[in-house]
Amino acid sequence: MRAQVLLVGLFPALGARAIRILMSNDDGWGELYVRSFFHALAAAEHDVVLSAPAENKSGSSSLDIEPSPRKAPCQYDSCAANSGPIGRNETSPRLNWVNSFPVTSMRFGIELTGPQLWNGEAPELAVTGPNVGSNLFLQVPFSGTVGAASFAAKNKKIPAIAFSGASSGNLAFNTSPEPLRSTLYAELATTLTNAVVASGRPFLPEDVFLNVNFPKVEGQCTQASQFKWVLSRINIGVFSDKDTELCGKTRLPTETSVVGTDGCFISISVGDANDKTTAAADKQAIVAKKLQSLLTCLP
Ligand SMILES: *[C@@H]1O[C@H](CO)[C@@H](O)[C@H](O)[C@H]1NC(C)=O
Ligand SMILES: *[C@@H]1O[C@H](CO)[C@@H](O)[C@H](O)[C@H]1NC(C)=O
């Protein structure tokens, strides 16, 4: 009895809120944005495993090719030369690299690395990024960040979220101190991840992924509390069926217009994992309801 009370007091969020999360990206496992996010999710008590490319594989969309033995060191000297087709950080075995593409890294994480570290269990959520640079509209089909998330949602039926940040410029995993843009994007991505988890199972409708784009960290947008979340669509909807009704309209704003609006707006598009276009209104409606306490309307 006493032990139970103690446990409940110590870990109020555990159980319902802490889950197994597989993460990947396309800028490489040694890129700081993904490392900051990894640490933020772990600090939020999640059980996180990173499985990402050994080097920058931006723009590789949904390519999936068996990893080949690595000859050169990994990016930023993050692994030694000639260290095989896959590898990990020996002091932090939850940090893993795959010498191939983002989708391949996600696949290895879901099928192999994650279950090895989770007593055979599968991930409950997949996240990618934050990508260094936006993934909006016409960039979406080419993005490895989106490719890996839609692979998890479509091929593995694991709910998935792709994150990208407009503030770019590559940073090594051991950059010290961590620049604000890296820790702020990590904090915002963790906020949305926790909101999705808190909304209950299933975390997302089947065969969808969320495409989330953060505006630049600059000017008035330098603290998490200044950012606002807006439900958006990936592509322009001129000839498309109606979107879910929100903010008094049946047409959601495009993600490009959301991040382009003055005032720290973050776009959340509900993507169809089959073709990386905007998901249908019924699936948008489920996400809108799950995230209603977070969402605002554009001015
Ligand atoms: C990563 O690759 C993309 C696409 O090839 C390129 O635009 C970007 O500059 C690369 N980043 C680095 C740090 O090399
Ligand atoms: C490996 O993990 C250690 C301990 O967490 C860390 O200090 C180091 O920077 C990591 N190196 C790489 C390449 O991930």
Does 125 have pLDDT greater than 90? yes
For residue 5, pLDDT over 50 is answered with: no
Q: Is the CB of 78 under 6 A from ligand 2?
A: yes
Within 13 Å, how many C-alpha atoms sit on residue 150's CB side? 25
Check the CA dihedral 116-117-120-122 and report its sign. Answer: negative
Confidence at residue 16, expressed as pLDDT on a 0 to 100 scale: 52
Supply angle C-alpha 103, 108, 110, rounded to 5. Answer: 95
Question: Which helix (H) or strand (E) element contains residue 182?
Answer: helix 180-198
How is the chain split into domains, by residue range? 3-290
Q: Please check whether residue 107 is in contact with residue 52, taking contact to mean a CB–CB distance below 8 angstroms.
A: no
- Residue 10 pLDDT > 80, yes or no? no
- How does residue 238 score in pLDDT terms, banded at 50, 70 and 90? confident
Q: Is the CB of 95 under 6 A from ligand 2?
A: yes
In this prediction, residue 154 has a pLDDT band, given cuts at 50, 70 and 90, of very high
pLDDT digits (tens, 9 = 90+) for 247-271: 999 999 999 999 999 999 999 999 9
Question: Which CATH fold would you assign to the domain 3-290?
Answer: Stationary-phase Survival Protein Sure Homolog; Chain: A, (3.40.1210)
Please give the model's pTM, rounded to 2 decimal places.
0.94
Q: What is the pLDDT of residue 3?
A: 43
pLDDT recorded at residue 217: 98
Q: Is the model's pLDDT at 297 over the cut of 80?
A: yes
Token reading at 121: 């269990």
Asked whether the predicted pLDDT for residue 189 surpasses 80, the reply is yes
Which numbered ligand comes closest to the C-alpha of 27? 1
- Ligand 1: distance of its center to the CA of 2 in Å? 55
76-124 per-position pLDDT tens digit: 999 999 999 999 999 999 999 999 999 999 999 999 999 999 999 999 9
77 lines ligand 2 (CB under 6 A): no
Q: Is 83 in the pocket of ligand 2 (CB under 6 A)?
A: no
Tens-place pLDDT, residues 50-63: 999 999 999 999 99
pLDDT of residue 36: 98
Task: Give the side-chain half-sphere CA count within 13 A for 203.
Answer: 26
pLDDT (average), residues 263-285: 98
Backbone angles phi, psi at 62, to 5 degrees: -110, 20
Q: What is the position in ligand 2's atom list of the atom closest to the CA of 79? A: 13
**Helix axis angle, 32-43 to 180-198, nearest 10°:** 50
**Residue 119, by phi and psi: left (phi above 0), alpha (psi -120 to 50) or beta?**
left
